[in-house]
Chains A and B, each alone.
Chain A
Amino acid sequence: MSNGVNVQALLDAREVLKGAPEAAQFTWRASSKWQHGVHSTTKIEKFFGLGQEQSHKNESVFEADHPAIFAAEDNGITPIEYLLVGLAGCLTAGVASVAQNRGIKLNSVEASVEGGHDIRGILGADPDVRNGFNDIKVVFTIDADASPADIEALVAQSQKRSAVFDALTNPTNVTVEVA
């Protein structure tokens, strides 16, 4: 049975890093460049982890812009939509990993993610409205050789171990400076 997740490698890493917290310190990096209007391009390639510089196999390039109804050119998705990409990717990876670890064969995993957003916040139209999402809803449709309760447990455990779920549900200190 395999969902293609190398769970043994993850379990081995967990054991090793238990005794080596310094190697577990990762830094993820992105660098962006303003293009024109509200369009920017962000590239991601290098990161730091396991005590040294690391690199993805390839550089990834992400365009961020606003849609035409915001009077923009729509060269890419809006920045806040990237949070949905992150959440969907993270929870889905979690479902696959937990399923692998529990010996559950996945036939298909689909998720629809919706973020409710009152844009009066970012427009400054109402000071009582926040800038970010008001709420996010994820609905998984999973076909797997497992009971409904086991599938619910996969999704619950995936949230419990999700970096992006944590980052979205808990506050994080963010420092923004001018170099």
Chain B
Amino acid sequence: MYVTTAVIGAGHAGLAASHFLTAASVDHVVLERGEVANSWRHERWDSLRLLTPNWLSRLPGAAYEGPDPDGYADMGEVVDLLERSAKDVPVRTGVNVTSVRRSPEGYTLTTSEGPIRARTVVIASGACNRPVMPAFDVPARVEQVTPFDYRNPSRLPDGGVLVVGASATGVQLAAEIQRSGRPVVLSAGEHVRMPRVYRDRDVLWWMHHAGVWAQRYDELDDLTRARRLPSPQLVAGSTLDLNALTSMGVELVGRLSTIRDGAALFSGGLRNVAALADLKLNRLLDTFDEWAGTAPGERHEPTRVPASARWRLDLRSGEIGSIVWATGFRPDYSWLDVPVVDEKGALVHDGGVVGDGLYALGLPVLRRRGSTFICGIEDDARDVIGHLVQGLKSA
């Protein structure tokens, strides 16, 4: 089989790519290892909802049309959104791409359904293929769970739970596990604090309208840092910062440094990561006020840090029954047999342009800060596929 463009992955990025390829009359196929929106169907916990309100959660060819534009989509609604966006997309489901190699005409893809030759390839296989789990020597009696395994608190063993990581995943899981009656210890490194609502508007309304999400990747001071930024401490419907968790009874500890002799050892620097997050939050709110041209709105109580947070937690004492590793996700490029991945496993690209007809979509801050979110894909796909089409014309 030969196509001009092979798109790998039928998530929001692959579907958006197809939309613009179709508009430019480029023959293409979207290869999907499972089904459309596979990760959203199979690799998410039960209670997860999008961080973006419905009115923001739009894809090319599919916008929210329901009765609650200010609500937050659950996974069923996300799958529905993606399926609507996939209506006229040439998706081949159940096709697993196991290798992509250079060839004289472009690329050769090895797939579970045989080889596919393509002039150009769009990598849209996702940013969160694998949960990151630090290699620590955890006592065998403590169960270890990643966000890919986790569904709801009832599947965790009884006893305390150490949640490692205080990004969106970590704070959300910490809250619902604490509510289930299991005492939670939350290990927090650097994090991004955000209120759900600022001056009666969703904080992401501000990010969108005040132009934060429109900031271009090639105009940021530190792009590497922006791309590695943890997801904000947000949940559908309410503010879920460290103060909210403390009020619920969650115990805060510093960043997990190591596990030694059966004890988790935490950094003594919790106060400073909280201070950094508080300062950054206030700067963000200042930019909103500047954009709005108004006097400052409400500012939030500084993060309450325990006077002496524990820096040692014995994992053999029975206090902790399980560890939830909310320590981030990484893309998987093990199938990519083209030397375009750096020593840390990140794809080397310039705003989604890898080079030689290879492209990427759906990665954090790919072309703008907003690229990280579903609603950012339309502008990214327009730019990246525009570059691809230009390349075809000039070849």
Q: Which residues of the other chain, A, contact B267 by a CB distance below 8 angstroms? A: 169-170
A12 vs chain B, min Cβ distance (A): 16
Which single member of A149, A166, A169, A171 contacts B260 (CB below 8 Å)?
A: A171
What string of 1s and 0s marks CB contacts (under 8 Å) between A151-174 and chain B? 011001101100001101111000
Which single member of A149, A156, A170, A171 contacts B272 (CB below 8 Å)?
A: A156
Say yes or no: B279 contacts A169, CB within 8 Å. Answer: no
A177 located at the interface, meaning its Cβ lies under 8 Å from any Cβ of chain B in the complex: no
Given the interface pairs A170-B257, A171-B258, A171-B260, the reply to whether A156 lies near B275 with Cβ below 8 Å is yes
B253 vs chain A, min Cβ distance (A): 12
Q: Which residues of the other chain, A, contact B272 by a CB distance below 8 angstroms? A: 156, 159-160, 165
Q: Which residues of the other chain, A, contact B308 by a CB distance below 8 angstroms? A: 134-135
Given the interface pairs A169-B268, A169-B269, the reply to whether A152 lies near B257 with Cβ below 8 Å is no
Q: Which residues of the other chain, A, contact B268 by a CB distance below 8 angstroms? A: 168-170
Q: Which residues of the other chain, B, contact A149 by a CB distance below 8 angstroms? A: 279, 282-283
Name the 10 nearest CB pairs between A and B, nearest first. Answer: A169-B268, A169-B269, A170-B257, A159-B272, A156-B275, A156-B276, A169-B267, A171-B265, A153-B279, A170-B267
7 extra interface residue pairs, beta carbon distance < 8 Å, beyond A169-B254, A170-B258: A153-B279, A156-B272, A156-B279, A160-B190, A168-B268, A170-B267, A170-B269
Number of A-B contacts (CB under 8 A): 36
Q: Which residues of the other chain, B, contact A169 by a CB distance below 8 angstroms? A: 254, 267-269
Closest B residue, CB atoms, query A130: B312
Q: Is the interface of A mostly helix, strand, loop or mixed?
A: helix
What string of 1s and 0s marks CB contacts (under 8 Å) between B247-262 and chain A? 0000000100110100
Closest A residue, CB atoms, query B307: A135
Q: Which residues of the other chain, B, contact A171 by a CB distance below 8 angstroms? A: 257-258, 260, 265
Q: Which residues of the other chain, B, contact A170 by a CB distance below 8 angstroms? A: 257-258, 265, 267-269
Given the interface pairs A171-B257, A171-B258, A171-B260, the reply to whether A152 lies near B275 with Cβ below 8 Å is yes
Q: Which residues of the other chain, B, contact A153 by a CB distance below 8 angstroms? A: 279
In Å, the complex CA distance between A153 and B282 comes to 11
Among A153, A156, A160, A168, the one with the most B-chain Cβ atoms within 10 Å of its Cβ is A156
In Å, the complex CA distance between A35 and B190 comes to 45
In Å, the complex CA distance between A5 and B347 comes to 35
A residues whose Cβ falls under 8 Å from a Cβ of B: 134-135, 149, 152-153, 156-157, 159-160, 165-166, 168-171
A161 vs chain B, min Cβ distance (A): 11
Closest A residue, CB atoms, query B254: A169
In Å, the complex CA distance between A165 and B258 comes to 17
In Å, the complex CA distance between A152 and B302 comes to 13
Given the interface pairs A170-B257, A171-B257, A171-B260, the reply to whether A165 lies near B279 with Cβ below 8 Å is no
Closest B residue, CB atoms, query A134: B308
Among A157, A166, A168, A169, the one with the most B-chain Cβ atoms within 10 Å of its Cβ is A169
Say yes or no: B269 contacts A165, CB within 8 Å. Answer: yes
What string of 1s and 0s marks CB contacts (under 8 Å) between B268-308 and chain A? 11001001100100110000000000000000000000001
Say yes or no: A152 contacts B279, CB within 8 Å. Answer: yes
Closest A residue, CB atoms, query B343: A21
A16 vs chain B, min Cβ distance (A): 16
Q: Which residues of the other chain, B, contact A165 by a CB distance below 8 angstroms? A: 269, 272
Q: Which residues of the other chain, B, contact A160 by a CB distance below 8 angstroms? A: 190, 272, 276
Closest B residue, CB atoms, query A165: B269
In Å, the complex CA distance between A170 and B258 comes to 9
A170 vs chain B, min Cβ distance (A): 4
Q: Which residues of the other chain, A, contact B254 by a CB distance below 8 angstroms? A: 169
Question: What are 30 sample pairs from A and B whose C-beta atoms fall under 8 A apart?
Answer: A135-B308, A149-B279, A149-B282, A149-B283, A152-B275, A152-B279, A153-B279, A156-B272, A156-B275, A156-B276, A156-B279, A157-B276, A159-B269, A159-B272, A160-B272, A160-B276, A165-B272, A166-B269, A168-B268, A169-B267, A169-B268, A169-B269, A170-B257, A170-B258, A170-B265, A170-B268, A170-B269, A171-B257, A171-B258, A171-B260
In Å, the complex CA distance between A156 and B275 comes to 7
Closest B residue, CB atoms, query A155: B275
Q: Which residues of the other chain, A, contact B279 by a CB distance below 8 angstroms? A: 149, 152-153, 156
Q: Which residues of the other chain, B, contact A168 by a CB distance below 8 angstroms? A: 268
